Amino acid sequence: MENQYLSVTQLTRYIKQKFDRDPYLERVYLTGEISNFNRNRRNSHQYFSLKDDGAKISAVMFRSAFQRVRFTPEEGMKVLVIGRISVYEKTGAYQMYVEHMEPDGIGQLYQAFEETKKKLEAEGIFSRPKKGLPRFPKRIAVITSPSGAVIRDIITTVKRRYPIVQLVLYPTYVQGERAADSIVKNIKAAEESGTFDALIVARGGGSFEDLWPFNEERVARTIADASIPVISSVGHETDTTLSDLAADVRAATPTAAAELAVPVLQDEMLRIEQMHVRMMRAYQKQLGYLNERWKRSASSYIFRQPQRLYEGYAQSVDYLMERLGRGLKEQVDQHKQQLSVLEWQLEAQQPGKLIEQRAKETDEYTRQLYVQMNRYMENQKNQTAHLIQSLDFLSPLKILGRGYSYVTKEATVIKSTEQLSPGDMLHIHFQEGTVDAEVKNIIEPGENEGEKEWTKI
């Protein structure tokens, strides 16, 4: 009976597994008011409650997830949270582990963001091979608002780093209902011009709703389909839009986007100067090496006595000519020997000689056949004579010649008295004739055999 009882730990662990394995509790979208929130735990895990008019649930938000929250939670604030439901084994209480939290009112936008993101990920839009940025661009298109700090930061950074590049601004709505169409239109216009080496899509920070045009599906597809490299810098470093995922390069800020788009001219000039110095040193080193080589060549005996240049070649030619003569003679002798062998083989393969050889072989085979045939017939005669002699030894006539006879009754040989009855007619066979007899009496074994009478017919 004791085995039927569970420990508290076992029961709590079993209940926790039920919660963890329930597919409906793995991803829960919940709305409610914040309760028991401690504002002094900004850099730690957050423990609070979510409640409505009828119920309350404990909630936990770990520091890594809470640091991504872009607003300041307040007591009584109505929020939208996404997370999972599980059980804390130490207390046995079920609670919600919050992974995302935002003020109530933008939940539909976030859900649309997640659905669009999953759709584009399934199509492989974000996993396409990324295009590399040109090292020394000549013209860069900037898709952003003509007013604000973004375009000023980009212009300032580019002029400071690489003033020889040409920046072309495409005035674009970056917020509101017309923003998505404006972004798509200007990206296509910059691409159709065919004169730009790179393209920057930029916007300053803002709320989730303010950044929504850069989460539109058509904007992400246009950026991904662009033939020129696209740098995306939308929002702050903690913001991640679909445009950032579709772009070839993502920058945390507009300044970072400008730094990624262009090199530092002074650094490049210094690098060119260093390469020029290295090239001149290498050239001088190579020139000195060639000069020394020319001096050694000029002092060589070849230039003082040019005839010595070909003396070795002349000797080699003589040696090769001698080898060639020996080689030709060896090949001619070898071919003569092969020709003699072929003539001998041809002579051996003449039809007359082959016929003569086959005739001799036929005569020999005929002689051997007669010998074997005579030998076989002699063996057969001897075997037949032996069998005749053996048959003669076994012949009943030979036995009858020694005084024996045999008795038949109606063509049946009599072997026992049990086959006879008084009055039966018998035939007694001798070597030279037959006698008919009649059975008068049958004498059983042990009786006086002299009492048996025979009557000759």
DSSP 198-260: EEEEEE----TTTTGGGG-HHHHHHHHH-SS-EEEEES-TT---HHHHHSSEE-SSHHHHHHH
Query: How far apart, in Å, are the Cα atoms of 134 and each of 137, 158, 229, 289?
Result: 6, 15, 8, 38
Long-range CB contact pairs, 250-253, < 8 A, 24+: 253/153
* Residue pLDDT, tens place only, 51-86: 988 899 999 999 888 888 877 788 878 888 999 999
Collapsing DSSP to helix, strand or coil, 312 comes out as helix
pLDDT mean over 102-123: 80
What integer pLDDT is reported at residue 447 of this predicted model?
Answer: 57
User: Which H or E run includes 366?
Assistant: helix 351-394
Tally Cβ neighbours within 10 Å of residue 334: 10
The span from the CA of 193 to the CA of 138, in Å, is 14
* Residue pLDDT, tens place only, 238-279: 778 999 999 999 998 999 999 999 999 999 899 999 999 999
What integer pLDDT is reported at residue 238 of this predicted model?
Answer: 73
pLDDT above 70 coverage of the chain, percent = 93
pLDDT mean over 273-297: 91
Kindly tell me if the per-residue pLDDT of 298 is higher than 90: no
* Residue pLDDT, tens place only, 20-37: 888 888 899 998 888 888
For the whole prediction, is pTM greater than 0.85? no
Q: Which domains does the chain have, with CATH numbers?
A: 2-105 (2.40.50.140), 131-263 (3.40.50.10550), 401-456 (no CATH)
The span from the CA of 87 to the CA of 96, in Å, is 9
pLDDT mean over 382-395: 83
**Residues with Cβ within 8 Å of residue 244, at least 6 apart in sequence:** 214, 232, 234, 250
* Residue pLDDT, tens place only, 169-216: 999 999 888 999 999 999 999 999 999 999 999 998 877 778 889 999
Name which of 185, 202, 190 is nearest 241 in CA terms. 202
